[in-house]
A and B are shown apart, each in its own frame.
Chain A
Amino acid sequence: MQQLGMGQAVNQALREEMQRDSRVFIAGEGVGVSIHDSPMLPTAGLLGEFGPGRVKDTPVSEAAIAGLAVGAAAAGLRPVVEIMFNPFFTLASDMIVNHAAKLRYLSGGKSTFPLVIRMKSGAGFGAGCQHSHNLEAWVAHCPGLKVIMPSTPADAKGLLKAAIRDEDPVIFIEDMMLYFAPGPVPEEPYLIPIGKAEVKREGSDVTVVTWSKMLGVAMQAAAQLAEEGIDVEVVDLRTLVPLDKETILQSTRKTGRLVVLHEASRTGGFAGEICAVVMEEAFGSMKAPFRRVTGPDIPVPASPPLERFYIPDATKLVAAVKEIV
């Protein structure tokens, strides 16, 4: 099987969907000619293949980029636009929160907005908090948006293809560290359904719910804990909205214990939502209090030791699991 980084997997998804459907176009800052020239990046080579009519380099204008997507989607195209880094979402947020998410509702269901907004995210590059800030909980809190945050290159490819074909606005968040962590990606065409979590590791003692880059941390901690006789089940959400409650509840009813792991800061983070769902719907099966392992309530710092302190690691997760097992 081919080994690809997540950026390359995204690239394949974009290429295949652009070949398949002439309504698909991409736009954003540097999606054609970038300040980086690496085959690991998501839009590498697409300008050459599809030309400047379908691969649109834009000015540094996040509101216009997002507005372009909303208008073009309503008019029947399939825009896939890039907001370079998750923190720049704030500049595009009116178009996403007040328009992409609400205009279908305001039309009484007459209009559809089949668009994808891709955003790079994640700490680990020493870039600091205005380039590294995971805002998935913000967008998940806006009815009218779907939110995808893949953890593996294979999932990224299948989910992005599904997102491009979806009739609703999708926020697709890619952790940049995963661009440089190759993994197996099937050669044959496939889609991964939106709204389906995946049990990435089966276990019986405790459920760890996580997504995106933190899957790696969860798998590492699970391997360590296995040596100590603690059997961890790892649920990778993949999609935050719509949330696959069934898989979460099935797992937590089985293990009776829950730890939620995410990189984003703690207060108002999506872990709180997962805990609430399990509390409301599976309380009778639970054997121990829940735990959250998250970034602290600080902006992501730049200095390597400070940034390492920020990002949740296997040691923290192992400790949290041991508190409740």
Chain B
Amino acid sequence: MQVSKDKQWEMLRTLLLARSFEDALVELCKVQGKIPGMMILCTGQEAVGSGVCAALSPEDVILTNHRSHSHLLAKGADPRTLMAEIYGKATGCNRGKSGTLHLAVPEVNAPCTTTVVGGGLPLAVGFAFAQMYRQERTVTVCFFGDGAADEGSFHEALNLASLWKLPVIFVCENNLYAGAQRYEEHTRVQNVADRAGAYAMPGEIVDGNDALAVYEATRRARERALGGLGPTLIECKTYRCRGHGESDPQHYQPREEIQMWTEKCPLPRLHGEMLAQGLITPQELEALQAEVDRLVQDAVRFAEESPYPEPHEALEDVLVAS
């Protein structure tokens, strides 16, 4: 089935935005004292967030993980408040409480980012249960990595979601590395998706660098979920082009492997096809790139100019009422 021009534009825009956003972070996090904590990027994996989110409605929920930036931007999070949060500023989407690792944007139904590996999967069961309980026409997507599939929470969540036929789409972003371990060093089954059968749900393997393929797989899983048929496990095969975090020298990743995957970059993959099919002109592509770059520059400026929270604000937001 042909993906509409509008959808392709939407995906291309979020791909470019996520890359531009993170390219800015690559430089900003090198400046001493500018950005606190770790910097974990999804460069080269953006087609997963873009493809999945393009297949969702605004009311659908996504739960993401430590490698969250492209998921959140694709779901429609405001780059300004994201960037301000990454800076630790008072204007950040979480008032400085979350930093880059736990960005929560409930206003676009991306209510929490959990960095406990595998932590999102049981939460997805809860969000999807609420959707079913209220008979909503919505689904919950949980993004997780190949490492998370080794956690007990993966097993418990998939089993329960399948048992109750909950409207969940489990999206495994298999970037071939969990920390410093290559996939075959931490998992014996050839594909994470092979495990779906153990939970009586479909397991679909897609090229995670092909936004269109990810979009199509998500659309099918969503239809299934809304039809009352329960969850789907989608494994997006992709690659972690940068280290686990920016301080990771990647000494265990072969140079030629990084090179090979860099050449499979999902951005030219999509705009190359769109150009070839006449869905976008070179001038339009240039303008789109300029537009997202402006958004990112504006976000950086907003973050730079924003104040830090007052120290006593650390005491706020623990409980609703104590």
Q: Is the CB of A144 within 8 A of B318?
A: yes
- Nearest-neighbor residue (CB-CB) of A114 within chain B: B320
A264 close to B (CB within 8 Å): no
- Nearest-neighbor residue (CB-CB) of A68 within chain B: B126
Q: Which residues of B contact A94 (CB under 8 A)?
A: 116, 119, 153
Q: Is the CB of B94 within 8 A of A95?
A: no
From 155 to 194 in chain B, residues with beta carbon under 8 angstroms from any chain A beta carbon are 156-157, 159-160, 163-164
Q: Is the CB of B93 within 8 A of A108?
A: yes
- Nearest-neighbor residue (CB-CB) of B61 within chain A: A75
Q: Which residues of B contact A74 (CB under 8 A)?
A: 106, 111-112, 123, 126-127
Partner of B104, one of A61, A106, A146, A167: A106
Q: Is the CB of A53 within 8 A of B133?
A: yes
Partner of A107, one of B111, B123, B127, B156: B111
Q: Is the CB of A168 within 8 A of B116?
A: no
Partner of A104, one of B116, B153, B157, B319: B319
Question: 6 closest A-B pairs (Cβ-Cβ)?
Answer: A71-B126, A67-B122, A75-B130, A108-B94, A109-B317, A108-B95
Interface set of A (CB-CB < 8 Å, partner B): 25, 53, 56, 58-59, 61, 63-64, 66-77, 79, 94-95, 98-99, 103-112, 143-144, 146, 166-168, 195, 242
Q: Is the CB of B157 within 8 A of A64?
A: yes
Interface set of B (CB-CB < 8 Å, partner A): 61, 92-98, 102, 104, 106-107, 111-114, 116, 119, 121-131, 133-134, 140, 152-153, 156-157, 159-160, 163-164, 316-322
12 extra interface residue pairs, beta carbon distance < 8 Å, beyond A68-B122, A94-B119, A109-B317: A61-B160, A63-B156, A64-B125, A67-B121, A67-B125, A74-B123, A103-B111, A106-B102, A107-B111, A108-B95, A111-B104, A112-B320
Bound complex: CA A146 to CA B61 (Å): 27
Bound complex: CA A198 to CA B93 (Å): 41
Q: Which residues of B contact A166 (CB under 8 A)?
A: 320-321
* Distance from B63 Cβ to chain A, minimum over Cβ atoms (Å): 8
Partner of B122, one of A63, A108, A111: A63
- Nearest-neighbor residue (CB-CB) of B164 within chain A: A56
Q: Which residues of A contact B317 (CB under 8 A)?
A: 104-105, 107-109
